Structure 1
Amino acid sequence: MDSIIDKERQEKENSEEDKATRRKRKFTCLMIFFIALFFVIIVSVISVFVAIKKDLDAESLSASHPKEHIRTICELTTFPNSCFKPISKLQSNYLTKSRKTNPTAIFMFFHQAAFDQLNIAISRSGYEYSNILTLEEDSAVESASLKLCNILIWDSLTQVNMSMALLEADYSVNEMFRLRKIKVDLERLIVNATDNMNACSRLEYVSEELRMKISDSVEYLNNCEEILRKMDRVIEMFNPPLFPGVFVFGYESVSMLIVFYGSPYLFLLFLLYKLIRMLK
């Protein structure tokens, strides 16, 4: 009787061991399958991402002809005709130094064009002010007016120079983050410079030739201000977002990236959960 019981117990233990062995083998096979499937999913996601990135890079301004992307950017301004010639010239000089055009360089070109035009205006203003001082007759009112205009133009030059210094500073951080961080300060400085020039133009005893120089300066400053206000569009021309209509660093972008990269991991967790349920 005892031998029969021992035999049954032995058979039961052997059966349990066989079940455990089969369960372990099944678990190992399924784990290998799911891991392989996971890597296939990851490789597929990366491949799709790389393909999309290549397409976007091909469409970006960085890959286009220099003259064409300057023309495209100038179309964003109120005065595209006055924008194209000086900006394209500045870019040509920039490219001869084996540098790659980027958003910061574009904003710098606009500042430099305005700065150069202001220098022309200050030269004319200084010339007229010097001439009025040499006159023998009483010209106190005229000289005071031209002196004030001269001061205003110099201040505009200072404002634009400060704005250019901001653009050149702190290259250690991400370019897009840095540009957005200083955008408000850049706009404020350019607006101040424009206001100064408009105030100078309204003064009495300012010659028509000087008014024309001032008007040209205001046009360049307006282009500079407008391109700063459209900073996001300029940045996207060089760095198209992975998902259309989504701004870099925006909450929507973060959510989309989480979905894009997180889905395979969530799917794997789901498969592991089903596997554990099957093995119970």
Structure 2
Amino acid sequence: MMKKLILAGLILTAQLFSISSHAALFDDTEARKKILELEKNMQSQNQASQAVQTDLSRRLGALEAIVKNGLADTQAQIEALKQENARLKGELELANHNVEATQQRQKDLYTDIDARLRQLEAAPVAVAAQPALEAAAPATVDKNSQEYQLLELANGLSKESKHKDAFNAYDKFVKDYPNSAFSADAIYGLGYSQFALKNYKSAIATQQKLLDTHAESPLVPDAMLNMANSQIQLGLVPGAKKTLRDLIAKFPNSDVTPTAQKRLKALEAIR
């Protein structure tokens, strides 16, 4: 009886051990399977992460290259602009210097012209005025008439260098006696008074009127010389040269022609 009990216990113990071993074997296989799946998933994730990282690195490198090239181009453009700005600044300074030098030369030129012509004109200008101031009265004119007396008054005022009063007298004569035989004398005297008063533009216009309305008057050469003087004072040197050349060509024997020749020579000697 005892032997049977011992045998039965051994058999039961063996069965229990077999069941436990089978269960343990089953649990180990499932665990390995889970571990393999986990490793596979981790490997897949690592590969995906590596791919993303590689792509990000590639894109970052491309961006860095673009930025680097862009900065290099920008720097090159900045340097080019700096050089262009420096060049333009230099040209502007040179242009300003040339303008100032030209203005100074022009100022010196006109100063020199004025000084030379003042020396040349001191006596000749007074001589040029004499034909108008000492014009002989036509036989048909009454020297006691208001017309003649007004002209004599204007001439006297001009000789006394009372140019404003002379201007008013000549102006009144021209307006009151437009058809007078002394009209050319009065117009010339009016222009000369304007020149003496430094109203050069008006002097030119007045003497031009004499040339247009009294082309045969012996005062035409004097009027042209007075016009040239006014043009010089206004800085119209080319115009003055032309007026003097015309005077010399048209009236080679005029009393004022030598003065015109000297004046023209002085102008042409100045560059």
Larger Cα Rg: Structure 1 or Structure 2? 2
Q: TM-score range by the shorter chain?
A: 0.3 to 0.5
TM-score (ref. length: structure 2): 0.42
Higher relative contact order (CA 8 A, sep 6+): 1
